Amino acid sequence: MANSLRGEVVKLYKNLLYLGREYPKGADYFRSRLKAAFLKNKDETDPEKIKQLIARGEFVIKELEALYFLRKYRAMKQRYYSDNKP
């Protein structure tokens, strides 16, 4: 059963790698941390544990997306609104 989850794990890794390109501390920093996290759990064979790890990875994807949206929102707000208070 662990082999059936392999595709999901590879897809998760690719998605995280793609999202890490715009990470605030740099893509190289993110890539090294991502690789270390996946290598730490490479010997996991329990399907339930693998599913939990995949769920954690999907949560990280949502957090990264929120971080990027917040950064874009702040940039747009800074462009169009001034902080001068009357």
Q: Is the pLDDT of residue 64 over 80?
A: yes
Q: How confident is the model at residue 71 (pLDDT cuts 50, 70, 90)?
A: confident
Taking every pair of Cα atoms in the chain, the longest distance, rounded to a whole number of angstroms, is: 65
pLDDT the model gives residue 1 = 47
Judge contact between 30 and 20, C-beta under 8 A. yes
Q: What is the pLDDT of residues 3-21, one digit of tens each?
A: 778 899 999 999 999 999 8
Residue 75 pLDDT level (bands cut at 50, 70, 90):
confident
